[in-house]
Amino acid sequence: MRRMLAIGTLLAFTLIPVADAANPARDVLWVALQGCVLAKKAAGRSFPCLSVDLGDGERPGSAVLRAPGEPTHVVVMPTDNVSGIEAPVLQGPRGVAYWQAALRARHFVSDALQGRLPAAAVGLGVNSVDGRSQDQLHIHLDCMHRGVMAALKAHGSAIGESWAPFPVLLDEDQYLALRVPADAVEHFNPFAALAHVPGWQGKLHDASFAAVAADPDDPGAGMIVLAYRMPEASAEALMDHTCRVTRTGRGS
């Protein structure tokens, strides 16, 4: 799906000249984003993005773009140039700000599904350096796979507020899991949390994570963050861009 995002965006923005780079294909999303920012500044419109927040002196800007051909799949990006999960700037307040922007944008997925999936049930995901196609931070938002939601429902009670291995494999990989209490979700920084995994500090280029609200029946509530590290790590694999989970009910 990350390749489809890059290719589709490239086709959508062929009239925008690509800036010089070592690998211009990895800057397509950044170039598309500049078109959105220009439209917002010049005409007060977000198109071709779904929304653009230019930010202010205290809050960094962010934009939301729908993946071409995938009605429920959107990405949230900084309007500043931030390479990705490994960027040191994400360890501070900007990491929190972009997390908050992604939380606010979950309604775009829910709206596309006409409310069949609550906004809280929309998943967030960020891929590793070699697991992504673009070098502009983009937080994926979409439905989670039914199997992932079923696993969280079955094993949610085993997830605490410290990183620990998730009891079962997800997409054939061993993930670590962390519960973020409900009253801490808004000010959580997932990027800083990854740096606190033993042995991960300074190695976040290989890290990837996904997050989603805990199952409604989970007494621990809050959000569950799932993360792993390896070359080409892509927690986006836990998402289902066809949203089959909405056809039979969340988590089934």
With tokens 């909405």, the residue in question is 246
pLDDT in tens, 118-133: 999 999 999 999 999 9
Smallest CA-to-CA distance from 227 within 243, 247, 211 is with 211
pTM of this prediction? Answer: 0.89
pLDDT in tens, 132-148: 999 999 999 999 999 99
Q: For the chain, what percent of residues have pLDDT higher than 90? A: 85
pLDDT in tens, 10-43: 334 333 333 444 678 899 999 999 999 999 999 9
Report, as an integer, the average pLDDT of 64-90: 97
Per-residue pLDDT, 114: 95
**Contact residues for 26 (Cβ-Cβ < 8 A; gap 6+):** 6, 133, 134, 135
Report, as an integer, the average pLDDT of 228-234: 97
Q: Which DSSP symbol is given to 98? A: H
Per-residue pLDDT, 2: 45
Give the number of C-alpha atoms closer than 13 A to the C-alpha of residue 146, restricted to the C-beta side. Answer: 10
Using the predicted structure, report yes or no on whether residue 45 has a pLDDT greater than 90: yes
Neighbour count for residue 35 (Cβ, 10 Å): 17
Per-residue pLDDT, 138: 98
Residues in the chain: 252
